[in-house]
Every structure is written in C-alpha cells, then in structure tokens.
Amino acid sequence: MGGKSPRPVERAFPIVVVGHVDHGKSTLVGRILHDTDSLPTGRLEQLRTASANRGLELEFSFLLDSLQVERDQGITVDSAQIWFRTQARRYVIIDAPGHTEFLRNMVTGAAVAQGAVLVVDAAQGVSEQTRRHGYLLGILGVRQVIVAVNKIDLIGHDEARFNAVADEARDYLRGIGIEAAVIIPLSAKHGDNIQGPSAKTPWYHGPALLPALDAFHARASVADAPLRLPVQDVYRLGDRRVVVGRIEAGSVAVGQMLRFTPGGAMARVAALEHWRGPMQTSAQAGESVALSFDREVFVERGHIAGPELSGAAESYLATVRLFWLDAEPLVEDETVTLRYGTAQHLVTVEAIEAVIDVEALTTAPGQRIARNAVGRARLRARRPMALDLFSTSPRTGRGVLVRNHRVVGGFVVEALPDAAANLTRVDAPVTPAERSRANGHRGGVLWLTGLSGAGKSTLGTRAVRQLTSLGWQAQLLDGDNLRQGLNRDLGFSEADRSENVRRTAEVAKLLAESGFVVLVALISPLAAQRALAREIIGEDFREVFVAADLATCVARDPKGLYARKLPGFTGVSAPYEAPVLPDLRLDTASLSAEAATQQLLEAAQAAFVGQ
C-alpha cells in the first residue's frame, strides 16, 4: 500500500529589519517573536530573569543579543535568521546590524530579502545611518519597505512629531526610487500597532505592522529565471569529470545543453550524479548538484553555467555601484580583489565615475570613495569574468571587494560593455585554400604535452627547423618563452595554468589560420585544458603525447626543476592527466630524438598535406 506523498516544504518569506543602532530594532524583532507565539518553550521566562538581573523591565532585545559581549556593548554585531508565522504565511527575519562597524553584515542580509522594515526613532528622526541603510536597500533592489517609527510612547504619542518624521522618511525614500508601503507609529516595547491598532494612537488609521507585512508580494520564483550555476569545483569520478555547485537561479535537467562563461565551452548534461537517495533527472534553484557531461569540457571554479543562448556575459570590464567600508579610501588605479559567486578576480579601478552623497542624494566627480560612502566605479580584470547585471539577475550580479584579505566593500553590477556591438569580424585577405596552394600544406597545430623534461621543446625545435628547411611555414610556441612575454602575468595555480593554455591556443589558432604549422610545447597537465585548446583551434588540432615516464624526466632534469622540489610541480606535487587517446604518442624514454622527430614530421605530413 503506497504511502502519502510528503507535504511540500513551505518557503519562508525573507525580510530584513534595519535601522540605527539605538532606534530599537532588536526590541522590535523580539516583540514580533513574542506576539506571534514564536518563542521556544521556556524562553520568555529566561528573558524575564535576564531582564530582572539587570534591573530592567522585560527587555525583548535580549532575545537577539544572545552573546554576552553584545549585551555588554548594547550592539547587535552579526546578522541572524529568525523565523515566525502570521495567519497569512511563514517569515524569516534577517536581523541586520545597525552599527556602522557591522554594516557589511547588514548588506549580506538585505541582499536576499524581498521586503524590509526600516526602524526610525520617533524622537531622533531620520539619521545619517537611516539614510545610508535606505540607500543600500535601494541599491540591492529591495523595493517593498515599511517604515516603523518606533518609541512613539517616548514622545507622548505626538501625532505632529510622527508626521514630521514620516514626511522626512517618505521624501528620502522617494528620492532613491522607493515608495514606502506604509509608515507606522509603534512602540516595540509596549506592543502598540504591532498586531493590531493601538488605542494610544487614535489618529493613525493605517495597518499595524504584521498585517502590513502580510501585504507584501512575493517575487517571481528564481526557479523560473534563466539558469545560473556557479561552479564550485570539478572532481574526477572514474573516467568522468563532475562539475559541482549550487543552482542560484533557474533549473537544470539531463539532456540540457549548457554554456559555460567565461570561455563559451558547451556540453550536454549526461547525468545528475548522486551518492545516496533516488536518482534525479532535474534540479532547481537552491539545490546543490553534481553534473557529468557528454564530452570533456574545460570548466573551473568561478565559471557560471547557463542556457545555451542566455548565459552570463563575458567581460574584462564592469561598471559597478559600490559601498565602501574600509578606513582607507578606494582610489583610482588601485588593485583589489573582486569576489562574486564562487569566482575571484584581481581588478584595477580604471575610473571612479561618481561619488554619491547619500544624505543630499547628489552625485559629484571624484578620485576616491571614502569610508561608508557610495560610488560608481569602472573595474578592469586581468582575466575574463562571467557577470550579470544586478537588474536582471540579482543573485549573480553582486559581490564584495577584498583588500588585504578583508571584505572592504560590496557592489552590484550596473553596466557591462557590449563588446559584440563594437567588434566587426574582418575576413582574412587570403583564403585558407590560397595559402595551402602557396605553401604546399594547410595550417594546423601539433600540441605537444608531457611532463617537464619529456622532450617537448627539443622535439618542437628540431621539427620546426626541419619543416622550415623543406619550405614549410612553421613556428614553435614554447611554454617558457610565452611566460616571459604574453603570459608573464600568470602564476602556476590551476586557474592560471588554464588561462596559459587558453591564450596559447588562441595565438596558435591565429598562426594556423595564417597558414603556419604550429608546434606548441606546453605541459598543459589537465585533460580539460587540452580539450579547451582543441575546442578553440578546431579540426586542425592534433594532440601529441610526449610520453617519457617520471623517472626518466627526473634523471634528465635539463632545467634543474625537479632538484629544486618546487611546490605544485606537475607530476610530483600536482597532477598530470596523461592523454588517453592522443593523435600521436612518442615514448622519448625509448626513442632517440631523431626517431621521435621523424615520427612528428610524418604526423605533420599526414595531417596537413593533401585531403
């Protein structure tokens, strides 16, 4: 007899509560939990005891300020998630700190919120920090905002004072493109206008706080958006490479063609791998997945998988709106680290286009963005980035800036250059057929891969010399030479090695299209890197495995690299994935240099002459 289908999990509606450090935000959250019967059993009595021990009345803020250091300082120092339920739905409050020092945590919380409560002290009114929090809500796309004018009891429930604060808050929010859903006079401490109307404010005729929250509209599900899957890592599972990550938007299914940015590599999903539970054929936003594909595809951490025709943009340049948190200002020409999703890039501040005064809502030119200020800057990366506009894909259009290993700012992507609109393909004045007739051979690439010391450079040099003596157009691209010029900015991390391969492949492709037979001597240790080179170059790519074993290479050690015991050295402390089915295998441990070179020349003849 079949069991009942499990009830679907109810998704909580996320809201953020923000406000100045002294305006009563924590007390308001505590009151909401109390009034919705969301406190764990016994917690109210603990609260009464904790308040009495400090000579206080019932202090709801203690519900959140659970750390002794927070109670001592009177400051909420980190964001926390708190659940409660009204008659209409379930909520999660992302309680964001109000103190300037902890503004970065508020940003983290607000970034996923669908609505916000902006807490303002009735006596103090709209402070600088209130304006800053409101401005950040606007930047982060939070458009549903309730203004809670708190501590109305401390001003004797004065209607005129409330109206003055309400007008100030309303006008400021309108100036940044936010229309306050409602502005409510309330007392978090005494519960006025939290669940229902308070007799102490007979002049107020709007909704109480909880009914106003229930009037917020849920955004369209991110599962309905185009797929965005930032790659967290790539693993080897038997003979398959498995891409893992968390789906930020959209969905993915077996058989779907995906495009990875940057690079544009494409592959079809062969399976959603699983280690326990039933096998899945699809997954959606919020789920972590492990995908295998129908072909080898170059993918690394930080790439973003998307649909074939509507993936993330690829760009070296991005215009961002950013909020700066460090004591030292951000200045033009400075290099910082950009982090978004699972990606990390070094970027240079090419220009600070504007500095924005969040108090007066004015924009002015400038060369620096000071602490707690907002600005617009143009950032240039050393390697292509996969980015989305925040306006179209909030989850993959935002990130943080890092300086000296510390988060010092947050950003949203405002604009990306339309590179395609500024580029026009220029066809070569000489066709490949014409070059082939003139040279007696087609252009193409012999890609020599193998361990350091296997003989790649030796064979490449000998082959190019002999091909040239036969009248061929031939060129050698040697890894060490490239790292002294074109690729001198790259290190030896897996990401930098992959970029080394990509650049080399692009140069080899240009030379091959010009009619040259190109011999590339490059370790290119990973199969996916060589698959990327094959994808870039196309049908005239030939993989040549220079297959000397490690012992032979160590014994030769022509560059003295093995003796130096370098960290991350291929074949020793870093992996080398030998080609499984290369186009040519040259065992230089047993073949003489002359014999191996001859086989290489014969391979060139067979590949690039005739047909």
Between 233 and 427, the higher pLDDT residue: 233
Domain housing 360: 313-422
What is the DSSP code string of 142-189?
A: ---EEEEEE-GGGGTT-HHHHHHHHHHHHHHHHHTT---SEEEE-BTT
Cβ atoms of 290 and 272 within 8 Å: the answer is: yes
Distance in angstroms (rounded) separating the CA atoms of residues 360 and 372: 15
Whether residue 3 lies inside any domain: the answer is no
Whether 245 and 161 share a structural domain: no
Least confident of 35-44, 245-254, 539-548: 35-44
Between 572 and 589, the higher pLDDT residue: 589
Number of helical H runs and strand E runs in the chain: 14, 28
Print the SS3 string covering 428-488. CCCCHHHHHHHHCCCCEEEEEECCCCCCHHHHHHHHHHHHHHCCCCEEEEEHHHHHCCCCC
Distance in angstroms (rounded) separating the CA atoms of residues 291 and 253: 10
Whether 447 and 370 share a structural domain: no
Decide the pairing of beta strands 517-521 and 474-478: parallel
CA distances from 478 to 414, 481, 567 (A): 41, 5, 22
Tell me the range of 430-444, 511-525, 552-566 where mean pLDDT is highest: 511-525
Q: Which of 356, 272, 345 is nearest to 321 (CA)?
A: 356
Question: How many angstroms from the chain centroid is the CA of residue 235?
Answer: 20
Q: Which of 132, 117, 130, 110 is nearest to 22 (CA)?
A: 130
Q: Which of 370, 314, 319, 380 is nearest to 349 (CA)?
A: 380
- Provide the pLDDT confidence category of residue 63 given band limits of 50, 70 and 90: low
Decide the pairing of beta strands 251-253 and 584-586: unpaired
Whether 447 and 405 share a structural domain: no
Distance in angstroms (rounded) separating the CA atoms of residues 394 and 143: 13
Q: In the numeric block, which tokens belong to residue 113?
A: 């919120």
Whether 33 and 91 share a structural domain: yes
- Provide the pLDDT confidence category of residue 123 given band limits of 50, 70 and 90: very high
pLDDT in tens, 49-61: 766 676 666 665 5
Domain boundary among 214, 247, 282: 214
- Give the model's pLDDT for residue 481: 92
pLDDT in tens, 226-271: 999 999 998 877 777 899 999 999 999 999 999 999 888 889 999 9
Distance in angstroms (rounded) separating the CA atoms of residues 594 and 511: 26
Q: With 50 as the cut, is the pLDDT of residue 446 above it?
A: yes
Q: Which of 50, 38, 19 is nearest to 92 (CA)?
A: 38
Tokens 């074109």 locate to 486
Q: With 50 as the cut, is the pLDDT of residue 72 above it?
A: no
- Give the model's pLDDT for residue 95: 59
pLDDT in tens, 263-294: 888 899 999 988 776 788 999 988 999 999 98
Whether residue 2 lies inside any domain: the answer is no
Tokens 């999903």 locate to 269
- Provide the pLDDT confidence category of residue 425 given band limits of 50, 70 and 90: low
- The H or E element that residue 412 is part of is strand 406-415
- Provide the pLDDT confidence category of residue 44 given band limits of 50, 70 and 90: low
Domain boundary among 254, 274, 307: 307
Evaluated on CA atoms 534, 537, 538, 544, the torsion sign reads negative
Whether residue 1 lies inside any domain: the answer is no
- Provide the pLDDT confidence category of residue 332 given band limits of 50, 70 and 90: very high
Whether 585 and 479 share a structural domain: yes
Whether residue 486 lies inside any domain: the answer is yes
Whether 561 and 413 share a structural domain: no
Cβ atoms of 283 and 252 within 8 Å: the answer is: yes
Whole-number percent of the chain with pLDDT over 70: 86
Distance in angstroms (rounded) separating the CA atoms of residues 419 and 436: 33
Q: With 50 as the cut, is the pLDDT of residue 3 above it?
A: no
Average pLDDT over residues 381-388: 89
Whether 376 and 474 share a structural domain: no
- Provide the pLDDT confidence category of residue 70 given band limits of 50, 70 and 90: very low
Least confident of 59-68, 69-78, 592-601: 69-78
Q: In the numeric block, which tokens belong to residue 460?
A: 């490449």
Whether residue 427 lies inside any domain: the answer is no
Q: With 50 as the cut, is the pLDDT of residue 304 above it?
A: yes
Distance in angstroms (rounded) separating the CA atoms of residues 462 and 470: 13
Distance in angstroms (rounded) separating the CA atoms of residues 28 and 148: 9
Residue 387: beta bridge partners? 313
CATH number at residue 416: 2.40.30.10
Distance in angstroms (rounded) separating the CA atoms of residues 491 and 587: 29
Between 508 and 102, the higher pLDDT residue: 508
Buried-state track 273-312, b at ≥16 Cβ within 10 A, e below 16:
beeeeeeeeebbbeeebbbbbeebbbbbbbbbbbeeeebb
- Give the model's pLDDT for residue 99: 43
Tokens 């441990």 locate to 589
Least confident of 344-353, 369-378, 556-565: 556-565
- Give the model's pLDDT for residue 50: 66
Report phi then psi at 197, rounded to 5: -65, 145
Q: Which of 151, 138, 186, 147 is nearest to 167 (CA)?
A: 147
pLDDT in tens, 473-523: 999 999 989 989 898 888 887 778 888 999 999 999 999 999 999 999 999
Whether 330 and 182 share a structural domain: no
- Give the model's pLDDT for residue 151: 95
Residue 573: beta bridge partners? none
Q: With 60 as the cut, is the pLDDT of residue 536 above it?
A: yes
Whether residue 60 lies inside any domain: the answer is yes
Domain boundary among 392, 422, 452: 422
Q: In the numeric block, which tokens belong to residue 227?
A: 């797929």
What is the DSSP code string of 73-137?
A: HT---S-EEEEEE-SS-EEEEEE---SGGGHHHHHHHHTT-SEEEEEEETTT-S-HHHHHHHHHH
Cβ atoms of 44 and 50 within 8 Å: the answer is: no
Between 224 and 179, the higher pLDDT residue: 179
Whether 474 and 440 share a structural domain: yes
- Provide the pLDDT confidence category of residue 403 given band limits of 50, 70 and 90: very high
CATH number at residue 572: 3.40.50.300
- Give the model's pLDDT for residue 75: 44
Whether 464 and 336 share a structural domain: no
- Give the model's pLDDT for residue 142: 87
Question: What average pLDDT does the structure give for the chain?
Answer: 84
Average pLDDT over residues 356-373: 82
pTM beyond cutoff 0.85:
no
Count of domains forming the chain:
4
Cβ atoms of 391 and 335 within 8 Å: the answer is: no
Q: What angle do CA 251, 255, 260 make, to 5 degrees?
A: 65
CA distances from 386 to 337, 338, 398, 538 (A): 15, 12, 12, 24
Q: What angle do CA 484, 490, 493 make, to 5 degrees?
A: 135
Q: How many CB atoms lie within 10 A of CB 362?
A: 10
Angle (deg, nearest 10), helices 527-537 and 494-513: 30
Whether 122 and 185 share a structural domain: yes
Whether 476 and 381 share a structural domain: no
Whether residue 5 lies inside any domain: the answer is no
Whether residue 122 lies inside any domain: the answer is yes
